[in-house]
Amino acid sequence: MNLAGQQYCIFNEKLDKVTYENRISALRLTHDNYPAILARVQKFHHSHAVRATHNVNCDNSIGDYLVDCKNVLGFEVFGCENVKYVGSSKMAKDSMDMNGFGYYSDHMLESLGSGNSSQICFTACCEFCSEIYYSAWCLHPNHLFGCVGLKHAENAILNTAMSHQEYNELAPKIIDHMRSTGEWGEFFHPSISPFGYNETIGADDQPLDRTTVEKYGWRWYDIPKKERTGEYVVPLDTAEYNPEKVSTEIAAKNIDTLLAGVIQCEKTGEPFRILKEELRFYIKHDLPIPRKHPQARYNERITFMNRKQLRDATCAECHASIQTTYDPAVRRVLCEQCYRKLVY
Ligand SMILES: [Zn+2]
């Protein structure tokens, strides 16, 4: 960790090429040794300093996981310029309050999962659009207001097509009305979201209980328990599915049994299956067959990322003011200059 220009290192110990390759080939990940390896990696990481944010090649930008950005305030942003309050977006300019996608867009406001567009406001999942408002799931349209699921449409309000002149007369009247009711300028209300809050990535960053979600007037989705549709199987060691390590007949029999069976998540009890292509990947890389449901694995993975929340702190070395997504109480957080001195 915190090395630059190094190779053949294990836990920062520099090794010769042969020793490195021998140790790596001897390290076989299994369900038995995984907890100890993970604990050792985490302990090792926590014993080293971290840079305040994971931003690369950014100018005048605030946030985390920013790459090639200029004048940006956001998280997980790549190649954007002059954007504010933005998350998980790429190559957008002159926009704010947006999440997801982006891609060669400009002048987007309060848009979700939209991209390749110009001047779109309060939209969800729209692409290749210009001048559209309060619309969702539309492709290649111009001048839409309150439309859903249209392709190559022009001058439409509530999915009703009209002349450009009629559109220009009616749309401002609707906007005036929405201004009078306080609706104009806000994204679709969460109460009409097709998804419950607990299903969304919002819940990854800001977990809320059902009572709080419903107090806000947002939806909660009772995720139905999946019924088991086959016999439970317990995955064997990956070698048992590899015809190069056991006989072709045994490998084929074990593969058939696993793919036909159902695995019970050892953490949540949820049933799940292994797909053929997935199993091929585990065999190729000699990785242990999962025993946890995909959602349980996802929930564990996101704990390795910092939350999208900046906190004020001071550099552990020079005491300069910094903003970071790490908790300075548990990690030694450095400003960019001190981190560079340490690594380079
Ligand atoms: Zn410093």
* Structural domain contains residue 338: no
CA of 56 to the centre of ligand 1 (A): 17
Q: Which domain holds residue 216?
A: 189-223
211 and 159 in a common domain: no
Is the pLDDT at 25 greater than 90? The verdict is: no
201 and 264 in a common domain: no
Nearest partner of 122 among 72, 199, 174, 64, judged by Cα: 174
255 and 211 in a common domain: no
pLDDT in the model for residue 192: 87
Nearest partner of 123 among 142, 103, 137, judged by Cα: 137
267 and 217 in a common domain: no
* Structural domain contains residue 331: no
CB-based contact 120:106 (threshold 8 Å): no
Is the pLDDT at 303 greater than 90? The verdict is: no
Angle between helices 248-260 and 276-284 (to 10 degrees): 130
Confidence of residue 228 (pLDDT cuts 50, 70, 90): confident
> How far apart are the C-alpha atoms of 273 and 87, rounded to whole Å?
32
Q: Give 89-104 pLDDT, tens digit per residue.
A: 999 999 999 999 999 9
CA of 310 to the centre of ligand 1 (A): 17
CA of 341 to the centre of ligand 1 (A): 9
CA of 315 to the centre of ligand 1 (A): 5
CA of 40 to the centre of ligand 1 (A): 28
CA of 179 to the centre of ligand 1 (A): 48
pLDDT in the model for residue 307: 87
Is the pLDDT at 76 greater than 90? The verdict is: yes
Q: Give 115-165 pLDDT, tens digit per residue.
A: 999 999 999 999 999 999 999 999 999 999 999 999 999 999 999 999 999
CA of 306 to the centre of ligand 1 (A): 20
193 and 145 in a common domain: no
Dihedral (CA of 233, 237, 240, 243) sign: positive
287 and 242 in a common domain: yes
Is the pLDDT at 315 greater than 90? The verdict is: yes
CA of 321 to the centre of ligand 1 (A): 8
> How far apart are the C-alpha atoms of 245 and 341, rounded to whole Å?
48
CA of 344 to the centre of ligand 1 (A): 14
170 and 148 in a common domain: yes
pLDDT in the model for residue 223: 83
> How many structural domains comprise the chain?
4
CA of 49 to the centre of ligand 1 (A): 11
Q: Which residue has the higher pLDDT, 192 or 105?
A: 105
CA of 342 to the centre of ligand 1 (A): 10
* Structural domain contains residue 58: no
CA of 318 to the centre of ligand 1 (A): 4
CA of 63 to the centre of ligand 1 (A): 18
215 and 199 in a common domain: yes
Q: Give 169-203 pLDDT, tens digit per residue.
A: 999 999 999 999 999 999 998 888 889 999 998 89
* Structural domain contains residue 228: no
Confidence of residue 226 (pLDDT cuts 50, 70, 90): confident
Tell me the percentage of the chain whose pLDDT exceeds 90: 90
CA of 54 to the centre of ligand 1 (A): 15
205 and 142 in a common domain: no
Cα 98 to its chain centre, rounded Å, is 14
CA of 178 to the centre of ligand 1 (A): 49
Q: Which range among 50-64, 145-159, 224-238, 251-265 shows the weakest confidence by mean pLDDT?
A: 224-238
140 and 196 in a common domain: no
Q: Which helix (H) or strand (E) holds 324?
A: strand 321-324
* Structural domain contains residue 124: yes
User: Average pLDDT over the chain, rounded to whole?
Assistant: 94
pLDDT in the model for residue 225: 82
> How far apart are the C-alpha atoms of 82 and 98, rounded to whole Å?
13
Please name the residue that has the structure tokens 């007369």.
169
CB-based contact 66:79 (threshold 8 Å): no
* Structural domain contains residue 206: yes
> How far apart are the C-alpha atoms of 279 and 155, rounded to whole Å?
50
pLDDT in the model for residue 306: 87
CA of 64 to the centre of ligand 1 (A): 18
Q: Give 37-61 pLDDT, tens digit per residue.
A: 999 999 999 999 999 999 999 999 9
pLDDT in the model for residue 230: 85
247 and 209 in a common domain: no
pLDDT in the model for residue 122: 97
* Structural domain contains residue 324: no
Q: Which residue has the higher pLDDT, 314 or 191?
A: 314
Mean pLDDT of 5-10: 95
CA of 336 to the centre of ligand 1 (A): 7
CA of 59 to the centre of ligand 1 (A): 18
**What's the longest Cα–Cα distance across the chain?**
76
pLDDT in the model for residue 332: 96
* Structural domain contains residue 315: no
CB-based contact 254:229 (threshold 8 Å): no
